[in-house]
Every structure is written in structure tokens, then in C-alpha cells.
Amino acid sequence: MSDTTTGPVLAADGRPLKASLNRALRRQKLRAMMLIAPLLIFILVSFVMPIADMLFRSVENQIVSDTLPRTTALLPDWDGEGAPDDMIYEALARDLAVAVEAKAHTRLGSRLNYERTGISSLLRKTGRGVDEIGETPQDVLEGVNDIWKDRDAFGRLIGTSEWVDAINAWDGEDSSTRIAPEFNANSSFAEQFPGTTSLYASYVLQSVSEEDNPLGEKPWPILFHVLAQELPSATPPSDVPEELALALREAATALDGVVLDDPRAVFLDIDDDWGDQGVWTTIQTYGPAYTNGYFLNSIDMQKGLDGPEWRPENEQIYIVLFIRTMIMSLTIMGMCVLLGYPIAWLLANLPDRKANMLMILVLLPFWTSLLVRTSAWKVLLQQQGVINDVLVWIGIVADDGRLQLINNQTGTIIAMTHILLPFMILPLYSVMKTIPPSYLRAAKSLGATNWTAFWRVYFPQSVPGIGAGCILVFILSIGYYITPELVGGTKGVFISNRIAYHISSSLNWGLAAALGTILLAVVMLLYWMYDKIVGIDNVKLGG
């Protein structure tokens, strides 16, 4: 037996007591984690992940580099003066040939059209004519040797025999349930014809994405164009099939002196805008996979060749909207405090029967649709509406001088104050209900007037309720967009209305994400300032 005076203290099961305690604590923590796991998962899925996705979308710009990989790789070397050289037009022709087959050029056009109007239609128009590049060498090669008419000619020439067999086997079975074999190029051919090999790899990837056998599809004309460009300086490899090696030698002889298609001329013939420096500058500027362009647009700036620059004055709208949103939200919050404080005081001090009836009236708007309440304000506030009719009837305003209460900031403030007022009253009521009436009686018995007793005794104890109500009303108001959209017109809308427009109408999700991120940052900054000035610990919802 061990010495009990020097050995570890043991539990009933013979384990060291310290280890048993640690094991029990781990089990308790694990049980606690299992209890809160559903809530954590819900918060992660419904709150953290959407915010992370919004942050990513606000800087993500991969569609340009993914759709035009060859072009964006060359454009950084362009000096930005005039139109780029022929090499960049050549790269654009190859990229667009792939993009048109994948129908990605329209999505690319939509993205770039956010930065420069007209690029979307330019790319759609170009997509209908870019397939002409390569028809000249294709006609020559097919006229020299019929092997070029075979749809598998490029596959047998560029791919390894193992890949040819594998892709045919994949197509011979149910290709929709199997992963297509990865394209494997003949290394000696790829060394002599790198451009043709790269473009054919894109052709294979596009074909198998549509569950088609690339050896059974008609090759793109631009493959003949790139092959014809590389033939004069290349040596046909010896490890390709003999009939294809012969066809390559015959092609080199037949193409001697043939004028190949000029991508620059083809693009300019499709549309003169391909000679516009601004189009190429836009592609160059937004070529990187990640961009700060959305954030610059959110503060009325844009990316320029020399760095960020201000947009023209007639295009600057977002800073005005941010300022308007903050001012109107603070105004609505202040109106709710002025109107909600006396109502909450009545609720807290009236007899229960009367207080309950008043509380029903406070909660009644929650039982009515937000859209119905907003539409009702449209009826009340219009120039021929109820409010103006009453004012004219009692003689406060003339019939020809009716007040403009809708489609402006006034209408938005009135309607949103009514809608958000309960969110101010309820926190105030819950705090005021906990203030003992005896405090005021004690202050009056010591000689304080009604005003002094209220201001020095009652009001300080209700401040936590004011803080809670202000936070609720302010945060809710800056995110509202239905009410400002219906009653605000052009001068009473918030930044949230612009975010909703970019999500649902213009589909510029990147700009919407950037605007939302800035709005979130502003709210967090104001929350931090409130905590430093007032103290978040002073915010209470009761007790």
C-alpha cells in the first residue's frame, strides 16, 4: 500500500482525485456545450455566415480574371495610352472564344457595365462575331488534307493516347454519373505548340462540363488560327500519329504566304469601341481577382490609373444618402423619445385597468401589416388627403397652399415615427414600472417641487430605458426601406433603399455588399461611441 501522507489523494474509484475532478468538469462543459450548440449553430448560419459572405462579396472580383485569364495577364504591362498592342487583342480573341461557348461573356459584361456603361452590349455584340477568327486557316487546312475535317483530329494530335482512350471510355458509359478524365497533353507537342495546347485544354474543359465528348465535337475555328500562328516556328513532334505528322507538314507548306485573320481588325470591325482607351482601361483596372472598387463606389469615388479619384459631381449620391440616413434616423429617434416618454409614464402610473387599455392601443399596430400602415399614411399625408383637408377646413392653411407632407423627408419621418414608437415605449415602460412612487413622495416631503422631483429623482432612473429605446429605434430605422420607399419619394429614401435596389434590380451585389458593410461599420462605431459616452451597462429593459 502507498503512503497516504505522501501519495496522491484518491477518489472512490481509485483514480487520483484531481484527475477525477478534471474529468467531471470536462463532462459538465461538454454537456453545457451540447445544450447551447443549437443556438450557436443558428447564430453561425443566420448571422455570422451572411456577414462573412457580405464582406467577401464586397471585394470579390474573380469573374474578370476567370473569364479573361490571358488578357488580364498581359494588361498590367500596357501603359494605358491609346489602344493596346496586337498581342492583347490576340489574347482577348482566345479568351472570348472560350467565354462565348461557356456563355460567361454576358456575366462579364454585366460586371464591367457597373463601371462603364455600354460594355455589356459591346461584349454581347462581340460574342456573335468572334467565332469568325480562324475560318481562313481552317478552310486552307481542310482543303489540303481531309484529316482536319475529323472532329477528333486535334484530340489525337494534342492529347496522349491514354487520355484519348480514357475520354472515349468515359463517353461510352453514363458520363453524367462519372467524373471525366483530366486532360493530359502530349508533352513534346505542348512544348512546340503551347498556345494551341492551352486553348485546346479550355475546349476540353468546356466540352466535358456540358457532358460532351471533346473528340466528338466540332473544334473551334480559333484553334486553327492559333495552330497556324505557331506552325512556322515549330517542329512537328515525332511521337504523334504518322498521318497527323504528315498533315502538320502539309499545313505548314499550305499556310506559307496565307494572310491570317487579324483579331484587332475583326474586333474593330465588330465595334469601334474596341479601339476606345476607356474600355481597355476598365478591363485593366478591374482585372485583379479582388478589388476595392465597390467600396470606392460606395463613397462616390472610383478607381483610376493613378489611384482613387472622385466621381463627377452629378454622380455623387451615396455620401448624401449616408448623411441623410443618419440625420433622419436620429430625428426619428428623437421624435420617438418626445412622444414615447409621456405615454410610458402614463402606462407606469395609471391604475391597472386604464394602463392595460392604453397598452392595448400601444400594441395594436403590431397586429396590423406594415404595408397596410404605410399605405394608410399615404392616404393621410397626400395633398388631397385627410390631414390637409382638416387643416383647410379649420382654416389653418389655404386651399391653394396645402402642405407637401409626402414624397419627402417629412413623410418618412412621420410614418416611421408612428411605426417605431412602440419600440421606444415598451423599454421605457419596463424601466419606469420598477421605479418606486415613494421616491417622488420622499423628494416632495423634503421640499422639492414637482419639476425638481421629476428631474432630479425620477428622470435619472428612467435613463436606462431611454438608452435601450434609442438603440432599438435607431438601429431599426437605419435599416428600414419599405416605408421610405413608399412615402419618401426621391428626397426621403435611406441608404437601405439603394442597397435593396442593387440586390433586386441592378443585381450589383458587390456594391450592395460594400454599402451594407459600410452601414454595419457606422452602426458599430456609433454603438462604441454610445458605450464610451453613456455606457452600455446603463441600458436596461426592466428590473
Looking at residue 528, what is its pLDDT?
86
Residue 1: pLDDT above 50? no
Alpha-carbon torsion angle 319, 321, 324, 326, nearest 10:
-80
* 59 neighbors 291 (Cβ within 8 angstroms): yes
Mean pLDDT of the 303-313 span: 84
Helix (H, G, I), strand (E, B) or coil at 413: helix
Looking at residue 175, what is its pLDDT?
56
**Confidence at 269, pLDDT banded by 50, 70, 90:** very high
138-182 pLDDT tens trace: 999 999 999 999 999 999 999 998 999 999 888 766 555 678 889
* 148 neighbors 139 (Cβ within 8 angstroms): no
Residue 507's region, left for phi above 0, alpha for psi from -120 to 50, else beta, is: left
**Neighbouring residues of 65: CB distance < 8 A, sequence distance ≥ 6:** 72, 287, 288, 289
The three cell numbers of residue 10 are: 484518491
Give dist(CA 139, CA 148) in Å, integer: 10
Looking at residue 477, what is its pLDDT?
92
C-alpha separations of 290 from 121, 160, 287, 409 in Å: 24, 37, 8, 37
Burial class (CB in 10 A: 0-12, 13-18, 19+), 177: exposed
Cβ neighbours of 112 (radius 10 Å): 24
Average pLDDT, the chain: 88
Residue 76: pLDDT above 50? yes
3-class DSSP string for 79-145? CCCCCCCHHHHHHHHHHHHHHHHHCCHHHHHHHHHCCCCCHHHHHHHHHCCHHHCCHHHHHHHHHHC
* 467 neighbors 538 (Cβ within 8 angstroms): yes
φ, ψ of residue 107 to 5 degrees: the values are: -70, -35
Residue 543: pLDDT above 80? no
- Residue boundaries of the structural domains of the chain: 1-57, 65-130+263-291, 147-254, 318-538
Looking at residue 2, what is its pLDDT?
46
Q: What percent of the chain has pLDDT over 90?
A: 48
527-537 pLDDT tens trace: 888 777 767 66
Rg from Cα positions in the chain: 36
* 157 neighbors 245 (Cβ within 8 angstroms): no
Residue 539: pLDDT above 80? no
- Distance from the Cα of residue 170 to its chain's centroid: 38
**Confidence at 6, pLDDT banded by 50, 70, 90:** low
**Confidence at 36, pLDDT banded by 50, 70, 90:** confident
**Confidence at 419, pLDDT banded by 50, 70, 90:** very high
Looking at residue 400, what is its pLDDT?
85
Residue 5: pLDDT above 60? no
Closest CA to 260 of 233, 236, 226: 226
* 67 neighbors 29 (Cβ within 8 angstroms): no
Q: Which helix (H) or strand (E) holds 308?
A: strand 307-310
Closest CA to 89 of 280, 224, 261, 263: 263
Say which DSSP state 434 is in: T
Alpha-carbon torsion angle 423, 425, 428, 433, nearest 10:
-130
Mean pLDDT of the 178-205 span: 91
Looking at residue 346, what is its pLDDT?
93
**Neighbouring residues of 94: CB distance < 8 A, sequence distance ≥ 6:** 70, 195, 199, 222, 226
Q: What percent of the chain has pLDDT over 70?
A: 94
Superfamily of domain 318-538: MetI-like (1.10.3720.10)
Looking up cell 508533352 gives 187
**Confidence at 118, pLDDT banded by 50, 70, 90:** very high
The three cell numbers of residue 309 are: 479619384
Which stretches of 193-272 are DSSP H helices?
A: 194-209, 221-230, 242-254, 263-270
The three cell numbers of residue 377 are: 399614411
- Per the DSSP assignment, residues forming a β-bridge with 159 are 185
Give dist(CA 134, CA 507) in Å, integer: 36
Give dist(CA 370, CA 416) in Å, integer: 10
243-267 pLDDT tens trace: 888 899 889 889 888 889 899 999 9
Residue 13: pLDDT above 80? no
* 87 neighbors 95 (Cβ within 8 angstroms): no
The three cell numbers of residue 203 are: 475546349
Looking at residue 201, what is its pLDDT?
94
Say which DSSP state 68 is in: S
80 vs 213, higher pLDDT: 213
- Distance from the Cα of residue 390 to its chain's centroid: 47
Residue 15: pLDDT above 80? no
Looking at residue 138, what is its pLDDT?
92
Residue 194: pLDDT above 50? yes
C-alpha separations of 343 from 354, 355, 454, 460, 465 in Å: 12, 10, 15, 17, 13
